Amino acid sequence: MSEIIVSLKNVGLCYKKRFSLKKRKSTTYWALQDINLEIFHGQSIGICGRNGAGKSTLLRVLAGIVSPSRGMITIAEGVRSGLLTLQSGFNPYLNGADNAILKGLYMGMKKEYIQSKMNEIIELSGLGVAFYNSIETYSSGMAARLGFAVNYFCMPDLLLIDETLSVGDKQFKQKSKLLIRELIQSNKTVVIVSHDEDALASLTSKVYTLENGILTS
């Protein structure tokens, strides 16, 4: 078996409601109860669950964005994990090129690398001349296409995808779906969360179900 890149042992995560003078009692909510999961290199995993089951929280734990409240997460050295995000990290007043560099830097890539990929980003996003206009002039579909293109070239070692992506127009949707499928079939390690079990089963090699913060296979 290939190497484990992330393992979760008895991971739980709670959110605390903030203390205020009006509501003195602070309440806690356990979004993840007791998660045990091992992800191997090159594996593609689907996690299925209803709204509010803790899917997004689990992805954030895997991405290293939040630390668990209990339990242990072990990430193999040098592994870059990241959520596939479309519009975060963009500033409306900057043009596509500046935004691509800024987002790439946020995602841990080098500025030189992103600059070297600029032509390919323009091509994949299909933005053409609009690429050099400020993002505030973009439609939300255009911004999402730029986001997808930057993500594609700044791909982390462990790619985490939230829900099925509905990006841009029909043509681009097909293109992005194809790319995601290609990624999953390649050597990339991918975790996808969705509420659609059938779609997950067709895309990934293993599907887990997440319910009330507990993961079952």
Partner 1 sequence: MIIKENSESEESAISGHQRHRAKWRHYWELLWFKTYMDLKIETQITYLGFFWWFLEPVFFLFIYYYIFAIILKTRTPYFIEFLFVGVVAWRWFAPAMSRSCRSIKSQARLMREIYVSKLIFPASVVLNDAFKFVIIFFILLTFLAVFHNKPNLLWLAVVPNFICQLTIIFGYSFCFAAVTPFIPDFPLVIQTFTFALMMVSGIFFDVLAAPPHLAYILQLNPIADVLINYRLPLINHHSPQWGYMLYTFVFGCVLNIIGIYSIRRNERIFSKVCA
The site for partner 1 (CB under 8 A) is made up of: 13, 15-16, 18, 60, 63-78, 82-83, 85, 88-89, 91, 93-94, 98, 101-102, 105-108, 110-111, 134
Q: How far is the CB of 9 from partner 1 (least distance, A)?
A: 9
Whose Cβ is closer to partner 1: residue 140's or residue 174's?
140
Q: In angstroms, rounded to a whole number, what is the distance separating the alpha carbons of residues 166 and 147?
A: 12
Q: In angstroms, rounded to a whole number, what is the distance separating the alpha carbons of residues 2 and 40?
A: 6
Q: How far is the CB of 201 from partner 1 (least distance, A)?
A: 26
Whose Cβ is closer to partner 1: residue 42's or residue 89's?
89
Q: How far is the CB of 127 from partner 1 (least distance, A)?
A: 19
Q: How far is the CB of 37 from partner 1 (least distance, A)?
A: 15
Residue 170 contacts by C-beta under 8 Å, 6 or more apart in sequence?
A: none
Q: In angstroms, rounded to a whole number, what is the distance separating the alpha carbons of residues 134 and 56?
A: 30
Token pair listed for 42: 């090159």
Cβ–Cβ under 8 Å, residues 138 and 90: no
Whose Cβ is closer to partner 1: residue 98's or residue 126's?
98
Whose Cβ is closer to partner 1: residue 66's or residue 178's?
66
What is the Cα 103 distance to its own chain's centre? 14
Q: In angstroms, rounded to a whole number, what is the distance separating the alpha carbons of residues 144 and 141?
A: 5
Whose Cβ is closer to partner 1: residue 52's or residue 108's?
108
Residues in a beta bridge with 101: none
Q: How far is the CB of 64 from partner 1 (least distance, A)?
A: 5
Cβ–Cβ under 8 Å, residues 180 and 161: yes
